[in-house]
C-alpha cells in the first residue's frame, strides 16, 4: 500500500512540477525585465528548488567516456561482458593508443569492483572506478533495480549474490583482484572462501574491503544498533512493500529505494536541510560553482533502486543480527563457509576514522577471521579524518588510500604470477 501511495503522491504533484518548470523559464527569460532583480532571482530559485526535490531521479550515466591519466585524455568503452536479470558486469575498456600516449602499459591487473546493493546505483562509485582506471583493467557490478525485474525471473537472495560474484570472477578469468565497497564485504568474502576451498582457478589473487561490515558486532554504529534492537519481524512488517503498476516487477515484494533514502537522510537531517538552504542561496546569488557542486552530489544521491525482499531480509539476519560469517555459522548451498581455507589470496582492509556506517574494527575483522593468509599478503589501513563516503571517494581516497591499494594489488599480482609459475613447474 505504501508503494502505491508513494506513486500516487508523485503523480499528483506532476501539475505543480510543470508549474515550477514554467516559472523557471519565465523568471530566467531575457525578455523579462524583472529576471535580474532580487525578486526574480528568488522566484526562480524557489521554483528550481521545488522541482529538484520533487523530481524522479532515474539511473545516472557513468559519464566515463573519457578520463584523464597522467594529464592525458584516455577514451574508454563501456562493455557488458556478463549479465543476468539482476546485474550487468560492466568493463571500462581503455583505448590502447591513448594509454601509450599517456605512458601507460596497454593492460593492467584485472579488478572487479563489487558495488553495494544497498539502495544506490553502482554509479555512486563513479569516482572509485575512474581512479582505479588509472592503472587497472576495471570491471564493476552494475546492479538492476528490482522493480524492473519481472516476477517470472524468480528470486534473488544473499546466496544468489555470492553465486553472482563467483560467476563474474569466472567471466573475468583467473586470478583477478576483487574490491568490495561497503555492503558486499560479507558475501564477497564468502565467495572468495568458497572458491579457495574448491581450489577454483578463477579465485582472486587479492581481495580488498572498504568500509565493510565483516563483523558488525564491533564498534556498532547507529545503523548497527537499529538492526540489532528491532526484531526481525519488524523489518518484514515495516520495510517490505509490493511493487505497483506500471513497473515490470509489479507484484514483487521489495525494500523500496525511497524508504532506504528516507532512512539515509533522516540520519543526517540537519546536514541535508543546510545543504538545500545553501543551494537555494547559491541559486539566488548566481553562484554557479555552489549550484553545480550541489546538483552533482544530489543527482547521484537521490537516485535509488529497490532491493528484493529476500536479499534485504537475509542481509539483516545474516550480517547484522545473527553475525553468521564471523561466528563461523554461514553455510552456502548446504556447505559451510570456511574462511580458514583462504591461504593464497591477499587481504587488504580500509576503514575511515570517522565512519558512522561501518565502525572502525568491523572491516579489519577479516584479518582475524582469515587466519591462514601469510603476513606478506596483508594490509590493514585506517584513513584518518574521513567518514564512510571518504573511504572510497574524494581527495583523500585518490591521494592516500588508492596509492596504497594500487601497490597492494601490484604486489599480489607478482606473488600470484610466481605461484602460477611454481605450480606449472611442479
- CATH number, residue 402: 3.40.50.1820
Q: What is the pTM of this model?
A: 0.92
Distance CA 147, CA 164 (A): 19
pLDDT tens per residue across span 15-35: 888 898 898 898 889 888 888
Dump pLDDT digits (tens) for 323-339.
999 999 999 999 999 99
**How many folded domains does the chain comprise?**
2
Residues 29, 102: one domain? no
189 and 268 in a single domain? The answer is no
In a domain, 292, yes or no: yes
Closest CA to 369 of 209, 247, 241, 244: 209
Kindly state whether residues 293 and 151 are assigned to the same domain.
no
Strand ranges (DSSP E) for 177-324?
A: 177-181, 206-210, 241-242, 253-255, 307-308
Three cell numbers, residue 42: 528568488
Residues 182 and 101 in one domain: yes
Domain end point (choices 301, 334, 357) = 301
How far apart CA 19 and CA 338 sit, in angstroms, is 59
Based on the fold, state whether residues 339 and 297 are members of the same structural domain.
no
Instruction: State the average pLDDT for the chain.
Output: 93
Nearest partner of 117 among 139, 87, 138, judged by Cα: 87
Predicted local distance difference test score (pLDDT) of residue 36:
87
Cis peptide before 336 (omega within 30 of 0): no
Q: What are the pLDDT digits (tens) for 109-120?
A: 999 999 999 989
Q: Angle, to 10 degrees, between the axis of helix 38-54 and the axis of helix 269-285?
A: 140
Rg of the chain over Cα atoms, rounded to whole angstroms, equals 23
Cβ atoms 24, 30 nearer than 8 A: no
Taking only the tens place, the pLDDT of each residue in 248-270 is: 999 999 999 999 888 778 777 88
Let me know whether 215 and 324 are in one domain: yes
In a domain, 383, yes or no: yes
More confident position, 156 or 28 = 156
Domain that holds residue 281: 2-56+257-301
Q: Kindly give the residue spans of alpha helices, DSSP state H, lying in 55-144.
A: 96-101, 126-132
Please give the Cα distance from 70 to 102 (Å, whole number): 6
Instruction: Identify whether 247 is part of a domain.
Output: no
Q: Are 195 and 224 members of one domain? A: yes
pLDDT at 386 (0 to 100):
96
* Among 391, 396, 412, residue whose Cα is nearest residue 183: 391
Amino acid at each position: 500500500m505504501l508503494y502505491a501511495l508513494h506513486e500516487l503522491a508523485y503523480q499528483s504533484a506532476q501539475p505543480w512540477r510543470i508549474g515550477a518548470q514554467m516559472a523557471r523559464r519565465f523568471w530566467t527569460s531575457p525578455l523579462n525585465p524583472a529576471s535580474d532583480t532580487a525578486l526574480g532571482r528568488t522566484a526562480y530559485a524557489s521554483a528550481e528548488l521545488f522541482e529538484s526535490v520533487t523530481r524522479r531521479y532515474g539511473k545516472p550515466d557513468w559519464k566515463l567516456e573519457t578520463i584523464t591519466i597522467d594529464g592525458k585524455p584516455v577514451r574508454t568503452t563501456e562493455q557488458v561482458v556478463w549479465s543476468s536479470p539482476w546485474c550487468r558486469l560492466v568493463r571500462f575498456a581503455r583505448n590502447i593508443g591513448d594509454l601509450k600516449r599517456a605512458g601507460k602499459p596497454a593492460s593492467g591487473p584485472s579488478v572487479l569492483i563489487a558495488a553495494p546493493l544497498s539502495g544506490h546505483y553502482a554509479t555512486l562509485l563513479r569516482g572509485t572506478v575512474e581512479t582505479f582506471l588509472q592503472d587497472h583493467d576495471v570491471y564493476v557490478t552494475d546492479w538492476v533495480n528490482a522493480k524492473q525485474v519481472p516476477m517470472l525471473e524468480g528470486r534473488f537472495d544473499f546466496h544468489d549474490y555470492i553465486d553472482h560474484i563467483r560467476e563474474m570472477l569466472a567471466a573475468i578469468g583467473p586470478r583477478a583482484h576483487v574490491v568490495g565497497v561497503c555492503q558486499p564485504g560479507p558475501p564477497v568474502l564468502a565467495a572468495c572462501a568458497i572458491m579457495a576451498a574448491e581450489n577454483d582457478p578463477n579465485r582472486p589473487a587479492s581481495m580488498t574491503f572498504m568500509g565493510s561490515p565483516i563483523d558488525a558486532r564491533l564498534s556498532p554504529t547507529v545503523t548497527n544498533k537499529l538492526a540489532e534492537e528491532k526484531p526481525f519481524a519488524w523489518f518484514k512488517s515495516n520495510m517490505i512493500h509490493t511493487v505497483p503498476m506500471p513497473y515490470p516487477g509489479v507484484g514483487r515484494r521489495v525494500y523500496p529505494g525511497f524508504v532506504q533514502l528516507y532512512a539515509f537522510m533522516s540520519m543526517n537531517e540537519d546536514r541535508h536541510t543546510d545543504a538545500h538552504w545553501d543551494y537555494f542561496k547559491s541559486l539566488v546569488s548566481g553562484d554557479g560553482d555552489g549550484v553545480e557542486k550541489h546538483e552533482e552530489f544530489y543527482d547521484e544521491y537521490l537516485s535509488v533502486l529497490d532491493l528484493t525482499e529476500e536479499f534485504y531480509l537475509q542481509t539483516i539476519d545474516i550480517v547484522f543480527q545473527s553475525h553468521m560469517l564471523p561466528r563461523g555459522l554461514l553455510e552456502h548451498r548446504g556447505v559451510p563457509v570456511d574462511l580458514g581455507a583462504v591461504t593464497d589470496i591477499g587481504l587488504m582492509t580500509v576503514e575511515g576514522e570517522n565512519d558512522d556506517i561501518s565502525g572502525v574494527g568491523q572491516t579489519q575483522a577479516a584479518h582475524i577471521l582469515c587466519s591462514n593468509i601469510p603476513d606478506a599478503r596483508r594490509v590493514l589501513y585506517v584513513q584518518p579524518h574521513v567518514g564512510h563516503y571518504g573511504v572510497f571517494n574524494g581527495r583523500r581516497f585518490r591521494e592516500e588510500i588508492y596509492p596504497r591499494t594500487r601497490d597492494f594489488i601490484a604486489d599480489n599480482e607478482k606473488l600470484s604470477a610466481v605461484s602460477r609459475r611454481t605450480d606449472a613447474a611442479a
